[in-house]
Structure 1
Amino acid sequence: FCDPRIQNIKNTVEELLKFKVSNHSLNLYGFCEKCQSNK
C-alpha cells in the first residue's frame, strides 16, 4: 500500500540525518480473533 504519511517520514529522516533511504518496509504483527480469545 502507499501512504503519504510514510513518505513524509522518510523525507524528514533523509533531510534531518543527511541520509538517503534506499528501501523501507512496514511490518504489522498481531493475533487473529481466535488467538486473542485464548489469552
Structure 2
Amino acid sequence: MIIHKYTLQRFLFTILNYRIISIHFDFLSQSSCRLN
C-alpha cells in the first residue's frame, strides 16, 4: 500500500511537471511569435 501510494504521488507529480512545462513552452512560443 505504501509503495502504491508513493507510485501514485510520483505519477501525479510527473503529470503536474508536464503541464507546467507545456504551459511554459506555450508561453515561449507565443512570445517569439509576437516578437516576429
TM-score by length of 2: 0.42
More helix by share: 2
TM-score by length of 1: 0.40
